[in-house]
Structure 1
Amino acid sequence: MSHEPSPANGKSIKVVIVGAGSVGVTTAYALLLSGLASELVLIDIDENRARGEATDLSHAAHFAHARVRVASDYAACEGATAVIITAGVNQKPGQTRMDLVKTNYGLFEAVVPQIAKHAPDTILIVATNPVDVLTHAAYELSGFPKERVIGSGTAMDTTRFRHELGLYYGVNPRNVHAVIIGEHGDSQLPVWSLASIAGMRLRDYCVQAGREYDEKAMDDVARRTRGAAYEIIQRKGKTNYGVASVLVSILEPIVKDSDAIVTVSRVGMYEGVGPVALSMPCKLNREGAHQDVPLLLNEVEKEGLKTSALGIREVILSVKKSDAESQS
């Protein structure tokens, strides 16, 4: 069954993906199957390989009614509804996402101003790790309003969290309402106080289901969620399918202007710390990401969020200091 693109306001939807590595290409393929975009553009430093990927994708595009092409410069970003940045050094076994920061920050210094120059009205979606630090960098380097610079953040962690809770409680993850906020990394925070199934908080659900609420089991769920990427990278060397599907889930409400709530990273002030980028539930539409209603957290969760924000802020400041010293 073929899918026609679903343009917003009757306009054709052009999406540019910067970085034709495993995440970028898998995202392009997922977008083709989604029917969201009428034109996909790949930009990569290895233009020859990118052309091979584009040709292969074009054979899938025959069924998806979308055009796929490769561009050699950032002028191709002109008119893009969104530009998704997946380029950068990948996380290796044993590395944290923060270990990648210096190399990938330098890449963003070269790439983001070019995107902003040619596509001043686009929405930037950042997937490169460490995603929170680089979302903040993209915000500063682009000069865009904070609503139009969105990091994939803990959208993937939230998906993993719901998956783990669904497995434990024996329900479909779609029926589990729970979020991970803060850093897309080791200081991420599961919001236990708001997690629910069938409209009931987890403790109440357990009472109604006639089962014990197991704190240790919940700690294990959080641990598996936090360590999922490390395990995948250890086994196969990269993550790509999950993050690609998450990037499509972020782009869809932007294209369709649907006001969907997704847990993504955005620059703001969090528990008195900022400006810093980290993840909270945001309303997504064609104008970008909006934090209209503060998340209701308990005091322990507020402290956890503050700790996460301080950690990200520390890395941002250290990168800026290092960058200033290298230029002096």
Structure 2
Amino acid sequence: MNKIGIIGVGHVGSAAAHEIVVRGLCNHLVLIDRNDDKAHAEELDLADMGSQTLSHTKISSQDYSLLSDADVVIFSTGNMNRQERDRMQELEWTKKTVYDAIPKLMASGFNGIIVSITNPCDVIAALIQKVSGLPKNHVFGTGTSLDTARMKRVVANKFHVNPKNVAGYVLGEHGDSQFTAWSTVSIAGIPLAEYPESVDLNLDEIKEQVAAGGWQIHSGKGYTCYGISACVSNIVKAILTDEVGAFPVSTYSKKYDTYVGHPAYVAGDGIAKQINLHLTADEEAELAKSAAKIHDMFKEHALVSD
């Protein structure tokens, strides 16, 4: 019997809950939120789908004790009032939710895997690991999974192909210092540099479209939810099925002594193995720069609890 918990059921957490129930990823889903009415409303709304979905999922809410035997907990608290593109601006608010919720989660006896969506993704993942005391392979963030999906969308649109035919990774921070590792990008197995019609491709333009994609959506509707809910659902599925799937998640890097977005294999015990990419010298430098930003932000701001 699989059990998933979601801490924070705002726009993103509720979208993830819906995705999980529709896909039938678990037998029992537990919702936790600082707003009791919101959590109970989401519980009832999801339960109303019970007669319409292909599988049955038990829905509960507002009971940390139910997370004692959860396989996975998705941490998705968020600041609804972000007014700037830089996700680091959310840290002062979201770090408080970590200090509040994670001790309660661990007091329940939880010993599973935590996947964090909360921004700033890399810093918060590192903070959750620090506060929870769980092994580093059991705590990670969605990292650049969504950014990679956006890159695939943009590249696919340029060449009029299905985004599922685009491979490659966006690396680094889930934020302004992220970058597309063009050496990893291919279309239908053909490296991007060798793909027909790629001669006049403006990589800087695509880079900006990828980096600005989240803010463009946020500016238009006030939040993003569908892309990230699909990403985290795929990651959770890989854990529950021991899939050993490759995802560009935010994991701890010994090389940079910080959490940073980089592909890794995800399986039943969390992060199974980091994937070594053959990056160019410029890409290695960009990754180091992005990791340094995350490292400094964590050291300077995340460990201070008000």
CA positional deviation for 1:89: 1.4
Q: Is the 8 A contact 2:82 2:90 kept in 1?
A: no
**Does the alignment pair 1:227 with 2:212?**
yes
In structure 1, runs of 5+ residues without a counterpart are 1-11
**Does the alignment pair 1:158 with 2:148?**
yes
Q: Structure 2 residue aligned with 1:243, among 203, 228, 231?
A: 228
**1:263 corresponding residue in structure 2:** 248
Q: Is the 8 A contact 1:131 1:184 kept in 2?
A: yes
Q: Structure 1 residue aligned with 2:199, among 213, 216, 220?
A: 213
**1:3 corresponding residue in structure 2:** none
In structure 2, runs of 5+ residues without a counterpart are none
CA positional deviation for 1:322: 4.2
**Does the alignment pair 1:305 with 2:292?**
no
**Partners of 2:41 and 2:283 in 1: how far apart?**
47
Tell me the secondary structure at the aligned position of residue 265 of structure 1: strand
**Partners of 2:50 and 2:164 in 1: how far apart?**
29
**1:202 corresponding residue in structure 2:** 192
**Partners of 2:81 and 2:158 in 1: how far apart?**
29
**Does the alignment pair 1:293 with 2:275?**
yes
**2:67 corresponding residue in structure 1:** 77
**Does the alignment pair 1:108 with 2:125?**
no
Task: State, as a whole percentage, how many aligned pairs show the same letter.
Answer: 28
Instruction: Name which of structure 1's ranges 25-34 and 109-118 shifts more when overlaid on structure 2.
Output: 109-118
CA positional deviation for 1:91: 5.7
CA positional deviation for 1:95: 4.0
Q: Normalization by structure 1: what TM-score? A: 0.89
Letter of the 1:284 partner, please give it. Answer: V
Tell me the secondary structure at the aligned position of residue 185 of structure 1: coil
CA positional deviation for 1:292: 3.8
Deviations, residues 36-80 of structure 1 (Å, cap 9, x unaligned): 1111111111112211111011011332311111124x2221110
Which aligned pairs between 1:1-328 and structure 2 lie closer than 5 A?
A: 12-62=1-51, 63=53, 64-72=55-63, 74-90=64-80, 92-206=82-196, 211-216=197-202, 218-270=203-255, 273-274=256-257, 276-320=258-302, 322-323=304-305
**1:4 corresponding residue in structure 2:** none
CA positional deviation for 1:149: 0.4
**Partners of 2:304 and 2:68 in 1: how far apart?**
32
Tell me the secondary structure at the aligned position of residue 141 of structure 1: helix
**Partners of 1:91 and 1:195 in 2: how far apart?**
35
CA positional deviation for 1:154: 0.6
Letter of the 1:68 partner, please give it. Answer: I
Letter of the 1:25 partner, please give it. Answer: S
Q: Is the 8 A contact 2:250 2:260 kept in 1?
A: yes
RMSD: 1.5
**1:5 corresponding residue in structure 2:** none
Q: Is the 8 A contact 1:93 1:237 kept in 2?
A: no
* Number of residues of Structure 1 aligned to a counterpart in Structure 2: 304
**Partners of 1:102 and 1:125 in 2: how far apart?**
20
Structure with more helix by fraction: 1
